[in-house]
Amino acid sequence: MPKTGQRGEDWVAAWLTRQGWQVVARRWRCPWGELDLVMQTAATLVFVEVKTRRCRNWDGNGAQAITPQKQARLRQAAALFLGEHPQWQSAPCRFDVALVRCQGDDYHLQSYLVNAFE
C-alpha cells in the first residue's frame, strides 16, 4: 500500500489532470532530491511540491516545511531536470505547492499555492 505522501501526490496529479494539465514526470529523483510532480499547463512547466499531512500536524499543513533550504534544493533539482530535458529549457517555469489533508482514506486539497516561490 502506498505511503500517505505518495497517495497525496497521486491525488494532486489526478486533480490537476482533470483540469487539463499533463503529467511530464512524477517523483523525479536526482542528487538534490525529488521533484514530486512536473506538470504542463498551456506552455508553462510547473514543478509541484506536494505536502500531505494528517490531522494535528505541527508544520502548518506542510507549508512550514518549504524552507529556504528546501526551495534551494527544488530549484537545483529543477535546473538539473531542465538540463536533462532540453525540450523544456525555453518554456516558462514556476514552482507551485499543494497542501493536502488526509483523514483516514479521504484526501482533500487544503490549499494550492501558485508560484509559491521563485
- Tell me how far apart the alpha carbons of residues 33 and 96 are, in angstroms, rounded to a whole number: 17
CB of 80 closer than 8 Å to CB of 59: no
- Tell me how far apart the alpha carbons of residues 82 and 88 are, in angstroms, rounded to a whole number: 6
Residue 100, strand partner residues:
52, 109
pLDDT in tens, 85-112: 999 999 999 999 999 988 878 888 888 9
Q: Does the pTM exceed 0.85?
A: yes
Quick one: three-class SS letters along 24-71? EEEEEEECCEEEEEEEEECCEEEEEEEEEEECCCCCHHHHHHCCHHHH
Distance in angstroms between the alpha carbons of the first and the last residue of the chain:
35
What phi, psi does 81 have (nearest 5°)?
Answer: -60, -45
| CATH number assigned to the domain with residue range 4-117, chosen from the 4 options 1.10.3720.10, 3.40.1350.10, 3.10.129.10, 3.30.1460.30 | 3.40.1350.10
Q: Where are the domains of the chain?
A: 4-117
pLDDT in tens, 31-75: 989 999 999 999 899 999 999 877 666 555 656 677 899 999 999
- Tell me how far apart the alpha carbons of residues 28 and 39 are, in angstroms, rounded to a whole number: 12
pLDDT at residue 16, as a whole number: 97
